[in-house]
Amino acid sequence: MAAIDPRIVIEEFLDSHDLEFDQKDPNTFLITLPGEKKLQTHCALIVGDHSLSINAFVIRKPDDNEAAVHAWCMAKNAAMYGIAFATNELGDIFLVGRLPLGAVTDREIDRLVGAVLQYSDSSFNPLLELGFANSIRREWAWRVNRGESLANLDAFKHLI
């Protein structure tokens, strides 16, 4: 019995869940996941020779407390399903995971994509607080000075 092409499984999953996606090439699916705290998480599903990789951008390299941000991420990794926090060569923070091609099913894609969405969304504000508190304070002051809305900074008013 021949295995189902993982690209077909991925495309059917994305279509059935009404997720916006683009195909960069036949093996790369670029997805935009909607969130609440992190409004969008950009995620790539990449079909390789032996495995499916999942990579999602979380935040850029922290301006402050980089060691504390990394320690926070490492502490979270042990309890996460199928994915882990990682950094790239620039210091930006991602969620990454890998699944053997034989394990690519609708259910496993759902679990991995769901994990990316959950961890990206739930970690967003804590990571911003740890890594960008000074920037948030400057932005708050700038907005107050100009009479701009503080609505999307409300979660950080305790930092002011």
Is the pTM higher than 0.75? The answer reads yes
Residue 21 predicted with pLDDT over 50: yes
pLDDT in tens, 70-79: 999 999 999 9
- Within the chain, strands assigned E span 21-25, 28-34, 40-47, 51-59, 83-87, 93-100
Contacts 24+ apart (CB under 8 A), 42-47: 43/113, 43/116, 45/10, 45/109, 47/6, 47/7, 47/10, 47/101
Distance separating alpha carbons of residues 116 and 110, to the nearest angstrom? 10
pLDDT in tens, 94-149: 999 999 999 999 999 999 999 999 999 999 999 999 999 999 999 999 999 999 99
Domains of the chain: 6-159 (3.30.1460.10)
pLDDT of residue 2: 53
The alpha carbon of residue 38 and the mean position of all alpha carbons in its chain are separated, in whole angstroms, by 9
